[in-house]
Amino acid sequence: MGSPSEESFTEIYRRYFSPDEDAAEEEAVTSACTFVLQTFEHIRPPPPPRPILRRTYILRDREAANERLMKDYFDAAPVHGPNVFRRRFRMSQRLFLRINNDLENTYDFFKQRMDARGYLGFTSIQKVTSALRVLAYGNTYDINDEYLKMAEKTTRDTLEHFCYGICQLYGKRYLRNPTWNDLQKIYEVHLEKHGIPGMIGSLDCRQWRWYNCPTAWRGQHTRGDQKGPTLVLQGVASYDLWVWSAFFGVAGCFNDINTLEASPLIEGYISGTIPKAGFHANGNDYEHGYYLGDGIYPEYSIIVKTFSETFDEKRKYFKKLQESSRKDIERCFGVLQQRWHFIRNPCRMWHKDKIRMAMYACIILHNMIIEDDGKAICQNYIPEDLVELPQATTEERLANAQLLRSREIHNTLKADLVEHAWAIRPIRSNNDHDEDSEEEVGEEFEDGNFEDVGLDAGENEEEEGENEDDTEE
Task: Report pLDDT digits (tens) over 63-106.
Answer: 899 999 999 999 989 999 999 999 999 999 999 999 999 999 99
Number of Cβ atoms within 10 Å of the Cβ of 262: 17
Within a domain: 104:
yes
Within a domain: 47:
no
Q: Which pLDDT score is estimated for 380? A: 83
Residues 399, 393: contact at Cβ < 8 Å? Answer: no
Adjacent-strand bridge partners of 347: 210
Q: Which pLDDT score is estimated for 404? A: 92
Within a domain: 286:
yes
Q: Considering the chain, what percentage of its residues have pLDDT values greater than 70?
A: 84
* Same domain as 138, residue 67: yes
* Same domain as 340, residue 200: yes
Domain finish residue from 174, 189, 210: 174
pLDDT digits 0-9 by tens, 152-183: 999 999 999 999 999 999 999 999 999 999 99
Rg (C-alpha) for the chain, rounded Å, is 34
Q: What's the pLDDT band for 16 if we cut at 50, 70, 90?
A: low
* Same domain as 235, residue 337: yes
User: Is the pLDDT assigned to residue 18 strictly greater than 80?
Assistant: no
How far is the C-alpha of 84 from the C-alpha of 280, rounded, in Å? 47
3-class SS at 328?
helix
Q: Which pLDDT score is estimated for 329? A: 93
Domain finish residue from 119, 150, 174: 174
* Same domain as 222, residue 134: no
Q: What is the mean pLDDT of residues 449-468?
A: 41
Adjacent-strand bridge partners of 383: none
User: Is the pLDDT assigned to residue 10 strictly greater than 80?
Assistant: no
Spacing of C-alpha 234 from chain mean position: 10
User: Is the pLDDT assigned to residue 439 strictly greater than 70?
Assistant: no
Within a domain: 99:
yes
Q: What is the mean pLDDT of residues 325-346?
A: 92
Residues 413, 286: contact at Cβ < 8 Å? Answer: yes
**Least confident among 35-44, 362-371, 442-451:** 442-451
pLDDT digits 0-9 by tens, 131-155: 999 999 988 888 888 888 898 999 9
* Same domain as 196, residue 124: no
User: Is the pLDDT assigned to residue 414 strictly greater than 60?
Assistant: yes
* Same domain as 202, residue 274: yes
Q: Which pLDDT score is estimated for 372? A: 93
Number of Cβ atoms within 10 Å of the Cβ of 248: 23
Q: Which pLDDT score is estimated for 88? A: 93
User: Is the pLDDT assigned to residue 418 strictly greater than 60?
Assistant: yes
* Same domain as 212, residue 77: no
Q: What is the mean pLDDT of residues 415-422?
A: 91
Q: What's the pLDDT band for 13 if we cut at 50, 70, 90?
A: low
Please state the pTM of the whole predicted model.
0.78
* Same domain as 203, residue 125: no
Q: What is the mean pLDDT of residues 436-443?
A: 44
User: Is the pLDDT assigned to residue 444 strictly greater than 70?
Assistant: no
Within a domain: 263:
yes
Q: Structurally, how many domains does the chain consist of?
A: 2
Mean pLDDT of the chain: 83
pLDDT digits 0-9 by tens, 216-263: 998 888 988 888 899 999 999 999 999 999 999 888 899 899 999 999
Q: Which pLDDT score is estimated for 429? A: 42
How far is the C-alpha of 376 from the C-alpha of 455, rounded, in Å? 10
- Residue 269 belongs to what H/E stretch? helix 264-271
* Same domain as 184, residue 170: no
User: Is the pLDDT assigned to residue 458 strictly greater than 80?
Assistant: no
Q: Which pLDDT score is estimated for 453? A: 35
* Same domain as 205, residue 348: yes
Q: Which pLDDT score is estimated for 103? A: 95
- Residue 285 belongs to what H/E stretch? strand 284-286
Within a domain: 33:
no
pLDDT digits 0-9 by tens, 193-211: 998 999 999 999 999 999 9
* Same domain as 289, residue 225: yes
**Least confident among 22-36, 327-341, 444-458:** 444-458
User: Is the pLDDT assigned to residue 446 strictly greater than 50?
Assistant: no
Domain range spanning residue 417?
180-426+438-464
User: What is the per-residue DSSP string for 180-230?
Assistant: HHHHHHHHHHHHHHTS-TTEEEEEEEEEEEBTT--GGGTTTT--TTSSS-E
Spacing of C-alpha 149 from chain mean position: 27
Within a domain: 400:
yes
Q: What's the pLDDT band for 21 if we cut at 50, 70, 90?
A: low
Q: Which pLDDT score is estimated for 433? A: 44
Q: Which pLDDT score is estimated for 35? A: 74
Q: Which pLDDT score is estimated for 441? A: 41
pLDDT digits 0-9 by tens, 286-303: 999 999 998 899 999 999
What backbone torsions phi and psi does residue 285 show, to the nearest 5 degrees? -105, 140
User: Is the pLDDT assigned to residue 436 strictly greater than 60?
Assistant: no
Q: What is the mean pLDDT of residues 251-276?
A: 90
* Same domain as 252, residue 364: yes
Within a domain: 199:
yes
Domain finish residue from 174, 209, 225: 174
